[in-house]
A and B are shown apart, each in its own frame.
Chain A
Amino acid sequence: MQYALFVCSDESQEISEEEVQARWRAFMSFQEDMEARDALVFLQRLQPTSTATKVSKRSGDLVISDGPFAETREQIAGFYVLECRNLDEALEIAARNPVAEFGTVEVRPVWAD
């Protein structure tokens, strides 16, 4: 079964350069780990929500505006698609993602055909 892991964190939080480096290393090691167990299908890191644009269409009128969809405390910073045996495996992997330490990881099953 495939699962999407959305990693969400507070992007306004300021962290030291040292911490940035430490997190980077943690992400790389997480990614290597996923590849080693052959679970990683796909991953993307997203630019901050300050670069986001909203699009909607109501009765044919196109509205384009600045900003993310919702004002929440945590924003999606990236996502993984993983192949796992079941939810428990996906949750175990999610718990190992570095973001779990300071943000939240949302685990969602992907529609299967």
Chain B
Amino acid sequence: MGGLSAEQAVSDAFRTEWGRVVAHLIRVTGNWDLAEECAQDAFTKALERWPRDGVPDNPGGWLKVTARNRAFDRLRRTQVGENKLQEVGKSMSEYQEPQDNEDGIEDDRLRLIFTCCHPALPIEGQVALTLRTLCGLTTVEIARAFMVPTETMAKRLVRTRHKIQDAGIPYRVPPDHQLPERLRAVLAVLYGLFNEGYSASSGADLIRRNLCAEAIRLASLLAELMPDEPETLGLLSLLLLHDARRPARLDSEGELVTLEDQDRSLWDRAAIDGACALLERAMRLHRAGAYQLQAAIAACHATAETADATDWAEIVILYDRLAQLVGTPVVRLNRAVAVAMALGPQAGLDLVDEIEVDGELAGYYLLPATRADLLRRLGRTAEARSAYAQALELAPTDAERRYLDRRLAEASS
């Protein structure tokens, strides 16, 4: 076994096994700090051993046992360990490995993800701890991805881990009666993580953009571990559909390109097909949900040959169902856009007016931006210009401001 391939094997194992090893050690020792440190030690040891002794037949098993033995050694040696030994001593000395045969036994990574995304934890802490423990990102990498100093991120991670231990957050998959609510919280964390990376511009740090890949990886894991939860499949499908369009989202100058203007040949067809298959699987479970509906809408766009071929009538129906489930004003605004495409700009504008009267979206730049687009299409140029100007004042990022500037210029010419 050559040194190079052994090193490659360690690096591959890090991708696939890190979360498993940490999740296992947390359950066995109940100590989050110790779990991460001993997982780290096991991978360091693999880097020493594997090039010399060869890659073990079951790298994951080797890492888990090595890390666990290290954790038990350290528990035995420390004072805390002495006390802990009283409690777990028996289980340590008699430790068997039924868990290593994971067939039919709940995966520790599922416990880990539900614990990391417990609603009692601060949201930034949930995301950071998930990336650290399940994905194996370092504190430095997470800090860079969220654009905070490393020290701030280190403190955030420590506080979050300590709250889990001190507040007595159980390490488990929630019981059935809590599962729907808690699963929603986990899915929201993953969706937020994806959006964090998706909103990063082309020039942004690679690590920041990498958050999309990590979110997809975690959503895939969740879909694999909870294959009968349609919303889990729905979220994964939605993320894959967004991600498939990413190459066309920005032009060569890094400017935002709207869906209708995107070069559809740049979309990742294979990813779109995979996402649609997942969505079909989810829908066969016959429990509709917000992620499935959003994925279905994204699939309508992704499978249209051209922007003109988009099935807007179908999209309106999907938005109607989404609005029934989550009647947020943002959903109603998106529905208004779809109605405008299906039935004409005036029908959309009437709905935008209704939303505006409710006042809930006051200050949200997409409200005047949508109104401006509809007015422009109706030929009401002067009104469109003033709505674009209003949207410009409210737009949160430079890329969005530049886009609106271009539209304003078009409307004025």
Please tell me if B104 contacts chain A, counting CB pairs below 8 Å: no
A88 touches B170 (CB 8 A): yes
The CA of A85 and the CA of B170, in the complex, are separated in Å by: 9
Contacting B at CB under 8 A, from A23-78, are: none
Interface residue SS majority, chain B: loop
The CA of A3 and the CA of B169, in the complex, are separated in Å by: 12
14 A-B pairs in the complex with CB atoms less than 8 angstroms apart: A1-B168, A86-B168, A86-B169, A86-B170, A87-B118, A87-B120, A87-B168, A87-B169, A87-B170, A88-B169, A88-B174, A90-B168, A109-B166, A109-B168
B120 touches A91 (CB 8 A): yes
Q: Could you say which residues of chain A place their CB within 8 Å of the CB of B167?
A: 87, 109
The 7 closest A-B pairs by CB, nearest first: A86-B170, A1-B168, A86-B168, A87-B168, A87-B169, A109-B167, A87-B167
Q: Could you say which residues of chain B place their CB within 8 Å of the CB of A86?
A: 168-170
Point out residues on A near B: beta carbons under 8 Å: 1, 3, 84-88, 90-91, 109
The CA of A86 and the CA of B168, in the complex, are separated in Å by: 5
Please give the distance in Å from B166's CB to the nearest CB on chain A.
Answer: 6
The CA of A90 and the CA of B169, in the complex, are separated in Å by: 10
Please tell me if B178 contacts chain A, counting CB pairs below 8 Å: yes
Contacting A at CB under 8 A, from B392-410, are: none
Q: Which of A1, A86, A90 has the most CB of B within 10 A?
A: A86
Contacting A at CB under 8 A, from B147-174, are: 166-170, 174
The closest CB in chain A to the CB of B182 belongs to A88
Q: Could you say which residues of chain B place their CB within 8 Å of the CB of A1?
A: 168
Q: Could you say which residues of chain A place their CB within 8 Å of the CB of B178?
A: 88
Please give the distance in Å from A2's CB to the nearest CB on chain B.
Answer: 10
Please give the distance in Å from B37's CB to the nearest CB on chain A.
Answer: 24
The closest CB in chain A to the CB of B170 belongs to A86
Please give the distance in Å from B252's CB to the nearest CB on chain A.
Answer: 51
The CA of A85 and the CA of B171, in the complex, are separated in Å by: 12
Chain B 168-188, CB-CB to A under 8 Å as 1, else 0, gives 111000100010000000000
Q: Could you say which residues of chain B place their CB within 8 Å of the CB of A109?
A: 166-168
Q: Could you say which residues of chain B place their CB within 8 Å of the CB of A84?
A: 168
